A and B are shown apart, each in its own frame.
Chain A
Amino acid sequence: MYVDRGRELSIIFFLVLLGVVLAVFAPGFYNPKNASDILVNISYITIAAIGMTAVIITAQIDISVGAILAACSTVAGLSAKAGVPIPLVFLYSIGTGAAIGLINGLLVAYARIPSIIVTLGTLTVIRGVIILLTGGTWIYDLPANFRAVGTGNTLGLPNPVWLMLATLLAGAFVFSHTRWGRSLYAVGSNPAAARLAGINVERTYVSVFVLVGALVGLATMAFATRFTTVQSNTGQGFEFLVITAVVVGGTNIFGGSGTAFGSFLGALLVGVTGTALTFLHASAYWEQALQGLFILLAVALDAARRRGALDFGWATRLFRRAA
């Protein structure tokens, strides 16, 4: 297993650069409230991104996560409104995501259809089915205990941030310290060799899709609970945010490498740019172009580092010593 800490350093370097610019031009950016808001806003992205990290480590991809988010939000909203106790709402939401993930996984692993095609197909089907079943109506008057999950605090930290931290720690541990976690890297770098080493490759594929589905179900509880309404068409473009967070965070799109912490940094970058641009009073008309440029710069910076144009050797050594 090879973990590329250099990519994480590249993003940290980039975030520090952005931080300096903000400190000079918009010192108001630095206040505890803003930090907490940003963490809450990226929590649902990070939770899903950790699942996506597992998928991409095995050299697969899932572009149906936005549709899954909509499906889980609908299930969670309807069941909470029907008076289902909150722990069960968690279970229903995660179960819905896992069930859809299972379908994706089976199609990828046993029907051998490339994952981008499978999830392109299921993405359109899921969105259609949601509108068909709900008639496109939104869910209002969500019960207070449901909303408390997303808007409440525990021990001074917002609940969505707790969910994110728990997922992040669990992900970091599972990816690097369990048999299953290590098998992901093996399958991603060379499926044939992994098979020879006794890993059930098909089952590994199924498991990562179930995982990302389940984590989108969990992300739903840090997302749908924060608003007064559940929209039937929610989560448009969520897949782009999540995949961007993961690949910016250093996970190799061709499989075999990636970390949970890197994906968190990627989500942080994705989440910070929008807020930063508001503080820098950037024109709304150019905001999208600038955001795309930020992402490209972060990735290009890392590409330059890998080619030896930038040397983070000192920082890597520092990082190793600390770790």
Chain B
Amino acid sequence: MKRVFVLLSVLALAVATVFALAQSGKKITVVMIPKLVGIDYFNATQKGAEEAAKELGNVTLRYVGPTEASAAKQIELIENAIQAKVDVISVAANDPKALAPALQKARDAGIKVVTWDADADSRDVFTNQATFTGIGEALIDSMVDQIGKDGPAAIITSDLTAPNQNSWIAAMKDKIAKAYPNFKIVDTKAPGEDQQKAFQAAQDLMKAYPDLKGIFALSSVAFPGAADAVKQAGKSGKVAVVGLSTPKQMAPFVKDGTVRDVVLWNPIDLGYLSIYAARAAVDGTLKEGAKIKAGRLGEYTVTKDKLSLQILLGKPFIFNKSNIDNFNF
């Protein structure tokens, strides 16, 4: 009796495996939509995604994005992808709420939705590069370590409506309220994704607030712009700049001492992981607590969050003098 049971279970398992294999062998089309094309950060995520798709061999990757960071254009791409009956829509959302109805429609049509880089209110799984709290705390800790517990510092963000930046700012303010109540943020500037405007914003801030000791620069464009303004004003070492950007852009400023820490994650790995997440979403292996294999990155545990499931790439990475030359993006 026992033997029959074992035999039966083995058989069932084999059938299930074959079925799963049949599913996972199926060639799928993934539409991957960055916030915009033409900026280096999203070129790096594309590189990672292409690498993963090639490794898997059964994923056709279509990397298409708007030429400006517009939620409306992304919605148009999503709606068209539904018409084209793709298997997975993978998106870095320009607006979590605005994209939700279109993404919900995709899921109703049986398409799996993966978000990455910036989350949306409707999805099957979010490939999270680093928690907002993690980034916010890393930024504040680095700044306090460089200029002390009182500030004063100013913030240069991207656009005032940018959701990731707003969440980081909220996390930073939480950390300040908890740990450094005397730390003063004197002003916030929003030059958009424009290096000339970011540069000018940093220049203006240093002159309008002569006792300014630090600048947080929260976009990959604002950070080099602000660092350059500090350097050209001859204030390297007097005004600390901390922010998020890619190592290749920041390397010159880290080496000359204008910038000590660059906070970021590896965007190539983020693109890479989100393709493995897309594959797992179609294969049906995404469940709370499940471990998914992501090629060279190893194993990741799927966790449950407020909306659905989440995979966390890791802790934010700090680039500094000792390691910045090892990264080529």
Contacts and interface: CB of A to CB of B under 8 A. Distances in A.
The reply, when asked whether chain A contacts chain B directly with Cβ atoms under 8 A, is yes
Interface of A: 26, 28, 31, 33-34, 37, 41, 127-128, 131, 135-138, 140-141, 151, 223, 226-229, 231-234, 236-237, 274-275, 278-279, 281, 284-285, 287
B232 interface: yes
Interface residues of B, number: 36
Given A41-B200, A234-B195, A228 B252 contact: yes
Given A41-B200, A284-B160, A229 B195 contact: yes
B187 A37 contact: no
Given A278-B208, A279-B204, A136 B37 contact: yes
B325 to A, nearest CB: 12
A37 B43 contact: no
A234 B199 CA distance: 14
B38 A136 contact: yes
B207 A227 contact: no
Interface string B193-206: 01110011101110
Contacts, number: 90
B188 interface: yes
Contacts of A41: 196, 200, 203
Nearest to B253: A228
Given A236-B68, A278-B205, A284 B221 contact: no
B54 interface: no
16 contacts: A28-B207, A41-B203, A128-B67, A131-B37, A137-B43, A227-B224, A231-B221, A232-B38, A232-B39, A234-B195, A236-B68, A278-B201, A278-B204, A281-B187, A281-B208, A287-B190
B39 A136 contact: yes
Contacts of A34: 207
B187 A227 contact: no
Interface in B204-232: 204-205, 207-208, 210, 221, 224-225, 228, 232
Contacts of A131: 37-38, 67
Contact of B187 (A127, A232, A275, A284): A284
Give me the 9 closest cross-chain CB pairs, A-B, nearest first: A278-B204, A233-B38, A136-B38, A279-B208, A278-B208, A138-B40, A131-B38, A275-B204, A284-B190
A281 B196 CA distance: 20
Contacts of B232: 151
Given A278-B189, A281-B187, A227 B195 contact: yes
Contact of A275 (B36, B38, B200): B200
Contacts of B203: 37, 41
B251 to A, nearest CB: 8
Contacts of A236: 68, 194
B60 interface: no
Nearest to B42: A136
B249 interface: yes
A223 B42 CA distance: 24
A244 to B, nearest CB: 15
Contacts of A279: 204, 207-208
B205 A229 contact: no
Contacts of A285: 160
Contact of B204 (A31, A141, A274): A274
